[in-house]
Structure 1
Amino acid sequence: MSTSALRQPAAPRTATRDWGRALGRLAMGLCVPVLILIGWQLVGQSPGMAGVVPTPAQVGRAWYDWIFASPGMGLNPYLGTWLSNVQYSTLRVAQGFALAMVCAIPLGLAIGWSRITSLMLDPLVQGMRPIPITAWLPFSIALFGIRDMGSIFLIFLGGFYAIVVNTTQGARDVDRNLVRAARMMGASSSQVLRRVVLPAAMPSIFTGLRIGLGISWTAVIVSEMVAVKSGLGYVLWDAYYVGRMDIVLADMVSIGLMGFISDRLIVWIERRVLVWRMLQNH
């Protein structure tokens, strides 16, 4: 019997092993959420909390109606409005976050690479960075009114500082031997920045993007509670006022879900941009 014939059964065993690992990872990932749901159900059914904390089953029913029910049916103003509110919030996050990327990545590279730029701008960035998003709310309303631009402005601020700080650190941590080698080969300063510093800083940039995107989702909820009249944040605050805690909790789960999906999108892009890093780790 040939050697190749003896090795043929290895493929099914490998596929089975991969499926087993995938199922194991899924089980580990679901273990804690399932325990939380069980504990939540028990708390919601306890005598002191009944009617105060909705159970997962109640939240699930409210979320289902919020998503799938026909708008305008009955006295429930939330029926069938989930998708439109998700679209409003997602569009605002996309606009504010894109603006933050366009401004923060070049600025972070400049601060991290140029000593003069660092001396001029880094103190300003570090001085303004600790100001919380909520402190900018009155200024945003005064400047933009109750409109989308006020929300986009706050989202921009939320993403900007995380991206610029991580980009700056990535540019500062570039191996100087790579820079010297590029200059010995005749590369200009702009070529060194584009072809050496930027690629070397990309892991830090993507870290900043992931952190900034999470803060952007926080900012959109804060802004929609006060500065606009649509989106997940607006529904969250409105449902709290009318005592619909089941909608409040369904809204919170929706926010977490959208944040998770957008984070996975950044990770997916990172894996395709930084192929060399994936190969290096393996």
Structure 2
Amino acid sequence: MEEALRMALRGEGFFAFPGLLLLKGPDAFSFLQGQGTRDLRRLEGPGGVLFLNHRGQIEEAATLFPHPEGFLLAPWGALKGLRARLERYIVFDQVVLEELPLYRLLHADGREEVAERGEGGLPLEVFPLYALLKGVPLLEDIRGELPQSVGLLHLVDYGKGCYVGQEIMARTEGKEVPYRLVGLKGLKAGEVGELFLEGRRVGEIKRLQRTPFGLLGLGLVRREVPLGSVVTGGGGEYRLLRYPFEEGLWSGQRSSA
């Protein structure tokens, strides 16, 4: 597993995620345009898309691929979750959702493509750690948060017209939200929970993971708390680092964070 992780961190190999959703039908474009955060008129290749609730919080996320019959959606979480999210909003729309036995290939160098087979991929057990180290979002880490808070504002196309959550996004355009994602370096192991600085709640732990580079994690912390601060929570103690983590964390070089 460690060799596979080293390969991925060098930008070699790919991860193969099974199961894609084909959205097709006469209303496929208008339906999807009214659901996701991306403007389909600008879509030229694969791209991430968020599906928000009416409070502007992330419910689902996927990679969107153009398709001759409509659009292919590769979920960042479970296929059934993405399908349920879309089906909830189908009323009179003439659209069909079809699950296809295809694979989303996420290359360690950042490229994404669709394939009929997934042989030769890196072990999927390695992906959560690779994602943590490289800043690749996992749905479990971003669900329920505003795109701005988790560094995914680039997946929101302003001016595209109405979509679920668009009103909140319009109200917050150009404004700084209270929280941001930070890396956590474990000084004393604890459990997932709230984070405190000098007795004041300043955020929460989204994920903790033991790695070959020590105990690392992901936190959502108030913006006024500076990097380098030591916070506590869940019985543990953590130093706040820049996120995504700097390469020096795993390359053997000293990090400047």
Normalised by the length of structure 1, the TM-score is 0.22
Higher strand share: 2
Higher helix share: 1
